[in-house]
Amino acid sequence: MLATLTGLGLSTAAGLNAYIPLLVVGLAANFTDAVRLPEGYAWLAEWPVLLIIGVLLLAELVLDKVPVVDHVNDIVQTAVRPAAGGVVFSATAAAAELEGSAWMADHPWVGWLLGIALALVVHLLKAAARPVVNATTAGVGAPVVSTVEDAGSIGISLIALFVPVLVVVVLLLFAVAAWWVIRAVRRRRRTARAARGGP
CA angle 79, 4, 165 (to 5 degrees): 115
Instruction: Decide if pLDDT at 96 tops 80.
Output: no
Distances (CA, A) of 15 to 70, 92, 129, 189: 15, 16, 13, 24
Cα(147)–Cα(77) distance, rounded to whole angstroms? 17
- pTM over 0.95? The answer is no
pLDDT for 61-73, tens place per residue? 999 999 889 889 9
3-40 residue pLDDT tens: 788 889 999 999 999 999 999 999 999 998 888 888 78
Neighbours of 163 (CB within 10 A): 14
Q: What mean pLDDT do residues 76-84 have?
A: 94
Give tens-digit pLDDT for 132-172: 888 888 878 889 989 999 999 999 999 999 998 999 999 99
Residue 108 has pLDDT above 70, yes or no: no
Phi, psi (5° rounding) for residue 107?
Answer: -130, 65
Our CA angle for 136, 195, 127, nearest 5°, is 40
| Residue 98: per-residue pLDDT | 45
